[in-house]
Chain A
Amino acid sequence: MKRFSLTSVLLASALALGVTTTAYADAGDSPVLKRIQDKKVVNIGHRETSIPFSYMDSNGKPVGYSIDICMKIVEGIRNELGNQDIAVKFVPVTGQTRIALMANGTIDLECGSTTNNLTRQKQVSYLPTTFITGTKIATRKNSGIKNVNDLKGKTLGVSTGTTNEKVLKAYIEKNKLDTKITQFKDHSQGWLAIETGRIDAYGSDDVLLYGLISKSKNSNDYTVVGQFLSFDPYAIMVPRNDSTFQRLGTSVIANLMSSGEIDGIYKKWFEPGPTDINMPMSETLKMAFKIQALPN
């Protein structure tokens, strides 16, 4: 066994030396790595209010679960390029700007709470799934709403343009619930509307709902109810057409998963996490981490 691995290492190094003499400490055929090597900086796109994935702490510094994973990828980039001096620059992005900024090369990685889907893959590529959530609704405990069907004749708030809006609208139409839908620009305005009694329930990804509740003044008054209406795997976004860079990111994340390091990062942000969100890791996510822990 020992001898075998020694041979393979020798063989691999011989191949590496022979075929691509500069494979180590080089950007290779990756335009993104080349850009990072030239400018000596990795530009990370981050969200400002996606708690606890990517948000600003009290010092105005971007922190969160996705940011921690991205910092591991930055380490991977530094090792790949053999240059420990590569700096990190944080660029704030929103749901509307993330694609544009990635397409025009402003950001190299987007570390937020972005759902991976096939339509979006026409524009960008994704690293392995790092979180799994889905659409649910939050409501006041005394509202009498126990699941989505109880929304009959009630008012539901959603954030404009989200995948949640799409599935909730479809569900309400299909089941003829006669629910009035009010749209909001972002989660904070939607939450303000539920607090001021303008709406009876607010629909979003369950993890974001737990985050909103944990931040609200009377967090004991609210609860998340209902079955999952959609399946939203979150993943870190990388530019398309750069399989070398994508593979580098994938290998970093796969290693985090196989070494179990990702469990520690998860614990730090979710159990209970700095914002008291208190979401133990779901069985689905545990399984996803196992499956995505590709061997080296």
Chain B
Amino acid sequence: MSQTVLLEPLLRTDPMLPRQAVVRAIKPEAYGITTFSLEYSEPDAPVGFSPGQFNMIHLPGIGEVAISIASDPVVPHVMEHTIRYAGSVTRAFSRVKVGDTVGMRGPYGNPWPMELAKGKDLMIVSGGIGLAPLRPVILDVLHRRGEFGRVILLYGGRTPQDLLYTDEFERWQEGGMELFVSVDRADETWKGQVGVIPMAFYRIRLDYRNTIVFSCGPEIMMRFVIYEAMARRVPKDSIYVSMERNMKCAIGFCGHCQVGPSFICKQGPIFRFSAIESFFGKEEF
């Protein structure tokens, strides 16, 4: 019909249509966790992202999955995605090779408030793979270290083998970051702290008047991070968390990622704690 001709330019702008992205590098990080560097191969693809944003990565025939961007925002073209082989789509990533093309769209989501952190002590608290969306924050801070006060990273993993980016820790410390790493269960190789990461709050003195907290990890971990931060009088407005929910579209159509009135894909994934306080941690909400 004649209408189909009219329609074509409309559908070319389909926000759900992935673009081709080429796998530039693959780096194993930990057991079952791998970092994939992806670059759009289409000339009109969006360039650049902010720390905390995510992409939708599509493996045709298998599905699409939301993965946060874990790389340096100063390098806008190649975006690294640290993926844990957990579900059907992420497991299929174990068969992806360098040079392959996958589908990708993004970046999406509300980023970490880097501007608000300027001049403040920045406390980054993460657990497990929750360090991935905070790595762009760390790399960004290290480029302009002088703009921030103290920069403290509290990072916890289940076992020493689950820790990410361990080869970069030294460089981060040399760049002026205080690093506290802890594992829930140690083995004979581990010489560091043992225990859940909120307990690391007891090893630092923070200036609550001038501290901003960025946290990403399991919700139960973030609950205790918020508890420990507020116990030290850090205001709710200075605590930011990254939320995770099932996501099918990333643009507010599919309804899957709602928590109360918020769509995680649009108002999140990064939230000021005071903005979601009434729904945060509600059982099965």
**B is bound to A:** no
B residues sitting closer than 8 Å to A (CB atoms) are none
